[in-house]
Chain A
Amino acid sequence: MEFYQEKPRKGVICNYGITDHFKSSYLAVDFVMPLTVENATGMSLLAGVISRGCKAYPQMDLISRYLARHYGASFSINASKAGELEILTFAFTYLDNEYAIDGEDIRGAVIALFKEMVFHPLAENGAFTAEYVEQEKTNLSDKIIGLFNDKRIYSLERCKALMCGDEAFGINEMGDRETLSAFDAHSLYAYFERMMSEAYVVISYVGKDRAHFLGELADGFTDRSDVMPETVVKTAGKLQEIVEPMDLNQSKLNLGFRLGRSALNNGAACRLFNVLYGGSANSKLFMNVRERLSLCYYCSSIIDRFKNVMFVSSGVEASKYEEARGEIEAQLAAVAAGEFTDEELENARVYLIDSIRGFLDSEGALASLMLSGTLRNEMKTPEQEIEDISKVTRSEIVEIAREVTLDTVYLLKGVHNEA
């Protein structure tokens, strides 16, 4: 496994993850912009409109049939956020040529489709197809409203929005409906052109092909700024506690925390802290809130390394909310007081190392490791990540835990039996 990076143009990066582990290859381009409502909405809408067709294949079924014909190649386009960055990703996975039954050039066909989808979207006279834009506006609007359907995700997103109401991080990766309603076929195309010329571009390949062929794709882009937009890191202010009732069987408890300076500067320790505290089935949260006290089925923590924040989520009985919250905070205090055994620390370390080694068997995981390394300007292979994690000490974990501060508590309270 080796990572290799080229910078063929200013602001355009090509990443190669060379590995013999797969019968397939992964090829993607990421457009990276600051997280603003306009970028989140614009990129999310673009994802819908571009997936409808390109000049060469102006309808969705034509694209699907092309992909199927080429041995189940897949294409997806998706907008997401990382810290305070919004990223539009075009991704292809395809079977390597040696497995084609009739000797077809699958790789060549996918690269051709890549160029069509990225550089020649279906547009004329400075506008996308109006009908597609209107339909995709409706679809995106439904999707934004539909966030509500999965209460676990909905409550976590709500907690993020409440905690970071006046920060970019509070913006949903899909944007909002008000901004969406202002887009039309012309303004979306103008937005697309702006993204194509201004966004930081990362092209990635994972597979066994050792020819450095991404330059050919990078040629489609002009020079642009190579300054990565910054994510603003804040400290917690006054604790916010918000309860919203809903007709549900189970309450969803979410706690939003700010991490401190040590977490920001020491990625390996920060991730290890998270695994120890709530990021695995052997964590403090799982072993205590679930296994010891039987308060929930799930209780776990996640961190956003860009934004330097952590969220704990759990599904609990409304009447047990105080008890669950108390235990979640108590377990954090325990880590901060160094109350964890060497065995617990080593278990967390082994768990994290095992996960990272597992990246070697996932093209998507390798690509996202290269992308986040690029965005943070510290590209590391799984082996290098493992080396960093093996060196983390107990006192580094304690230091990270000590600096964690609770910012927001959000309870989506189930009131099903209180009619």
Chain B
Amino acid sequence: MKGVGERAILWRRLGLGLLGAGLVLGLLGAARLEVSGTLWRARPAWPLFSLGVGLLALAAVLVRRHPAGGGGDGDGTDQVAAILRELRAAVAALRQGHPLQLETEGRRPAALQALAEAEAPQEAAYLLWLKLQLDPLLDDLLPRLFDARSALLRQHGVVTGGVFVSGLARVERLLARAWSAAVDGHAPAARAALAEAAQELEGLALPEAGGRPPGT
């Protein structure tokens, strides 16, 4: 299997090399000007241009048949599944009013820790707490999830994987809305957005490899 993977990488590198060469030759062929009287006129060098186009077409076939990380295992999905579990737990905890237990916990200010442990937050305190809890979700956790989207789209296809990534993006927007409402001091809107995000997350299932989007 390792030999197959190495060959695929070599083919891809060859394709990328041909892509560069084809682009340069194609541009050179298309860019030629010639002196005509006192003016420079466009006279493309068609043989050179055709060679460039041919190389580009060959490169396109090679690169598409051997995509980056092609034939990979389920690492991308496993990683996404783990972060998704973490995200679900975090949002559920936020709805219940529990402090997050994320890897980024070290960033939580001491004042917030005291606030969370006081167990009697008033509206403003709750909103401040919520905003500070959402910061690591929006800044750390979701970006990590979206970083893995390329692998996911490659693994499951642009349609099936796209449905999942699009759902995640909706969760991101709803959490951003909760953050904005918290900063604006509007607790009902923040809670409503959190509830919507949680609902969206509940309905969000990782697509099966090569299969149809969940729920279809």
Q: Do A and B bind each other?
A: no
Binding site for B on A (CB under 8 A): none
Chain B residues in the interface with A (C-beta under 8 A): none
